[in-house]
Amino acid sequence: MNRITWQIRVKQLINALLAAFLIYGVYYAIVYIYHEESGLNDKFLRSVMTTVELHESGLVVDKRGLSSVEVTPFLTQKKTLKVYRDVGEWQVIVGELHAKKRLWGELTYSIEERGHYLNGDERNPFYLHSALLEGGKITDSLHQNGAMNQLEKLEDGNVAEIFFSLRTLKSPEQVLKLLSDYDVKVTSMAVFAGELKDFKLSTYSSSGADYMIPHLTLRPMVQFSDNHFLSAWHTFFSLDAGITDHVQQLIADVEWMTDNIKYNGVDEDKLRLAYLKKNGVQVYGATVTGPVRELEKLKEESEFWGFRLGRIEVWNWS
């Protein structure tokens, strides 16, 4: 009798486990289909690309293979994507992006960089001098030649990425005009949006009169449809094509980002947006790429200073 009772209980337990597994499978399928069909996954991907590319200096999210967002049973969305930099005409993978968003929670992400050097840091390569905050001009004594000395020692058959800061705040179009005589491509620009002037940031570093601050990045235009589906993106800026559309897209992106995403720093970005709408878009640094001999010529431009050398690759340039 006890044996029969035990067998019945084991069978009931197995049936209960199978029923629970079936219910879980149906529940998870409904959750996944809902996130796909409702556009929540596309909105999540748009949030990730916009937030990362507007806050990281020239890092680009790989926009291929954007399907298959992981959705956990607790409705947390997760995605791992490659990030790269444009060096010459190579798209050089420099790390892996891990992003997640809990239901009703903040979007968070981390980037595992594949750095070549233990002390390498390309995440915040621009200098904002106090003279720019006061409307002054940077003196020649502050010009840094370390990166140029490195470039001189590189052979001709290489391309590289270089970052430089500006002595005065300029419009993006003015920067492109200054670079129009050089065989280089501009991949991003550091936007000044009132930081340390109209409002104080919670985190920044300084060395004397130079500040290294979090900033918005003017990127080549990325476009989404009304349902958040990625429709088109550009790789470089072009003076011939004009910069106005890229600048207007930056304002639209920051507005969408601050209205639709919860993330660390959203309150500061709202202040940045208000400043940009009132004062327009000015930049204090840029990232460019091209042949090393052509990059070396940039030291002749009096408006550029604070050069920092980024990635170096073998020749790949049209």
Q: Sign of the C-alpha dihedral, residues 166, 170, 234, 65?
A: positive
Q: Which are the contacts of 218, defined by CB distance < 8 A and separation ≥ 6?
A: 172, 188, 189, 190, 191, 246, 247, 250, 281, 283
- What is the DSSP-derived secondary structure letter of residue 195? B
Look at residue 110 and give its three-state secondary structure.
strand
The partner residues of 314 in beta bridges, in order of sequence, read 158
Look at residue 58 and give its three-state secondary structure.
coil
Question: Token pair of 228, please?
Answer: 């958040």
Helices (H) and strands (E) in the chain, counts: 8, 15
The Cα 218–Cα 53 span in angstroms is 9
The Cα 283–Cα 43 span in angstroms is 29
pLDDT by residue for the chain (318 residues), tens only, comes to 566 777 777 777 776 667 666 665 565 566 566 566 667 889 999 999 999 999 998 899 999 877 788 888 888 899 999 999 999 999 999 999 999 999 889 999 999 987 776 666 556 789 988 888 877 667 654 445 688 999 999 999 999 999 999 999 999 999 999 999 999 999 999 999 999 888 888 777 877 778 888 999 999 999 999 889 899 999 999 888 889 999 999 999 999 999 999 999 999 999 999 999 999 999 999 999 999 999 999 999 999 999 999 999 999 998
Amino acid at 234: H
Contact (Cβ atoms closer than 8 angstroms) between residue 146 and residue 307: yes
Contact (Cβ atoms closer than 8 angstroms) between residue 285 and residue 191: no
Contact (Cβ atoms closer than 8 angstroms) between residue 81 and residue 68: no
Output the pTM of the full model.
Answer: 0.88
The Cα 113–Cα 120 span in angstroms is 10
